[in-house]
Amino acid sequence: MPVHTPYIPPSDLLTFLHVDEWLIVADKPAGLLSVPGRGPEKADCARSRAEEAYPGALTVHRLDMATSGLLLFARTPDVQRALSMAFEQGQIEKAYLADVWMGPEETSGLIDLPLIADWPNRPRQKVDHEIGKPSQTRFEVIDRHAATSRVKLTPLTGRSHQLRVHMAELGHPILGDQLYAHDVARNMAPRLHLHASQLSFRHPGTGEAVQFLSSCPFDIP
């Protein structure tokens, strides 16, 4: 069972990479909630910081608190609906960078393992081949070291903790993962080595194909 410690929001700022009349692209630091949690001490989050800077900013999707990287906000309800639908229909391509224990032998591949909430051990998720929801992740090995590898992960579905569970199930947990990594991998990094590095989609206001990138904030051990 995970150890529950008091929530302390990071001092890092939510960085705004792109702002226009339709949407906002922000770079979230690790340790910051995407949306408010329970209790006044968890009111500080990416959404509240975006709303403070740009009143009316609306949540489109979320990142795990421990994950850093690109986060998208809408500036009107119509754009929020359009972007949310684009996510649901797989029209927004997301890519992540992760450092993992050892690494797959294959250079690239597809992970196809159905996931479901592990209710007795929330917020953990687990693989369930009988009633789990379809979940797919493409991986590509970018760099290899003695005991670690850097991989690019492209989720084809958007299940909670999908990338973390899929890599752990392959036997290559993400470094610093407090929920799914074994002790060695968990202690190899001071934070979860998972970063949302790329968002590509058709802009709901202009119709143009756009791509946003965020450089990886951590080094591979």
Say if residue 70 is exposed, middle or buried (CB neighbours under 10 Å; 0-12, 13-18, 19+): buried
- Of 122, 174, 169, 133, nearest to 153 by C-alpha is 174
* Nearest of 171, 216, 170, 215 to residue 192 by alpha carbon: 216
64 given a catalytic annotation: yes
Among residues 64, 99, 128, 183, the one annotated as catalytic is: 64
CA 188 – CA 32 distance, rounded (Å): 21
158 and 165 Cβ atoms separated by less than 8 Å: no
**Catalytic positions, written as ranges:** 64
